[in-house]
Structure 1
């Protein structure tokens, strides 16, 4: 007969210690199979030394603060002056409305025009112009006026024009006299002039002028500026028999810029 206290095959043996603890705990000082690692010191409060960032010997310097405040005031003052000056200039411009002068070539005569085989050119010329001041509230003063005659981009002769002044809404007649006595020119210039004269007896010249100009309105005046005047396509008929040549097509308006 089978023993009733014998465990059934296939089931775990009953735990003699139902509370999960051994009746004979390990002696004091014995190591467990897995020893718990000790936490690192200051694991959550290991901050760097604050003295590296906030030196204990820092002292408040009132002199540095005063210098910084002084520089800020100077900077703000300069910015304010620039804004005020710009505003005043803009208001003056709105009130006065300065406009560039206008130039027109009225006549262009050429005499004693000769162009030799040795690329030497000779002639005398007189150009009459009209300068107009379109401003209603500003007068103009011209100084150091230079004028040059060009064939295409090559200079043939240059001269100066006496300085003059213009009141508001005023027109002034100018005369520029040129002379070339045996001036050397490139072969391309000689061929170009002879080619144009051979077609219809006309030669296309250009006039350029450079002057210093000053705008004035009672107590207010601008600094001197360089005024550039370009008068292109000045077609002059030059007869082959030596007679004086003259501008064809009537007066020519010029381009003006600063």
Structure 2
């Protein structure tokens, strides 16, 4: 059989093209050959790994805050359950002896009895300090400190106290006011302030509070002709805050 002198590729098959040669520079080498660098991360937002010590401190701080919240919640629940109430304070008696005002000098001795009542049915009270201060017309005349004592639930405790002054200077206006009261009414109205540092207790629960009790306008019969007298009327309840 005679062969075709100009053979053609069969229909349906691509014509085989020669492989494309890579671009070469004038010296026969690819451009930038030998000048490539390893890959570098240029991300400006890249952050290093956090310090393990900082993580530990942050976790400890969070745990401390959680503990404080739990303790605060427990304390709040205890307050709702126990409902601590301030003690009731009464002045049962107040007498004065050796009372004299002359030449703006005051002398006198006051004996009194107070009654402290614990209204709480679930909490005992501890009086760490009780300070008495006697006033007249807004001016302090004398003060004293009582011995600390404890009270059980619903207990009532009588406490005696004594205040005294001897030749203490007072303002002329105050001396005149005392003399006018004795001449007009035959009595003098004193004010008593009771400053107490009280601890409320129930099991392991402890809460300390400063409480001030006001016993105002306590009338004592001291006519101008005598230097002694007693409280007028029955026992009187003081206001506590």
| TM value normalised by structure 1 | 0.72
Distance apart, 1:150 and its partner CA = 0.4
Which of 220, 224, 230 is 2:214 aligned to? 230
Instruction: Specify the alignment match of 1:93 in structure 2.
Output: 79
Once structures 1 and 2 are overlaid, which stretch shifts more, 92-101 or 172-181?
A: 92-101
Question: Over aligned residue pairs, what C-alpha RMSD do you find?
Answer: 2.0
Alpha-carbon distance in structure 2 between the residues aligned to 1:153 and 1:130: 24
- Quick check: 1:123 aligned with 2:108? yes
| TM value normalised by structure 2 | 0.77
Q: Secondary structure at the match of 1:62?
A: coil
Instruction: Specify the alignment match of 2:134 in structure 1.
Output: 149
Greater C-alpha Rg:
1
Q: Secondary structure at the match of 1:63?
A: coil
Alignment of 1:7-156 (within 5 A): 59-64=46-51, 66=52, 69-116=55-102, 118-156=103-141
Distance apart, 1:186 and its partner CA = 0.9
Instruction: Specify the alignment match of 2:236 in structure 1.
Output: 252
Alpha-carbon distance in structure 2 between the residues aligned to 1:192 and 1:177: 24
Shift in CA distance, 63/205, structure 1 to aligned 2, threshold 3 Å: same
Distance apart, 1:112 and its partner CA = 1.3
Contact kept, 8 Å, 2:194 with 2:214, in 1: the verdict is yes
Contact kept, 8 Å, 1:111 with 1:242, in 2: the verdict is no
Contact kept, 8 Å, 2:134 with 2:192, in 1: the verdict is yes
Distance apart, 1:175 and its partner CA = 0.8
Q: Give ranges in structure 1 of 5+ residues lacking alignment.
A: 1-54
Alpha-carbon distance in structure 1 between the residues aligned to 2:155 and 2:50: 63
Instruction: Specify the alignment match of 1:207 in structure 2.
Output: 192
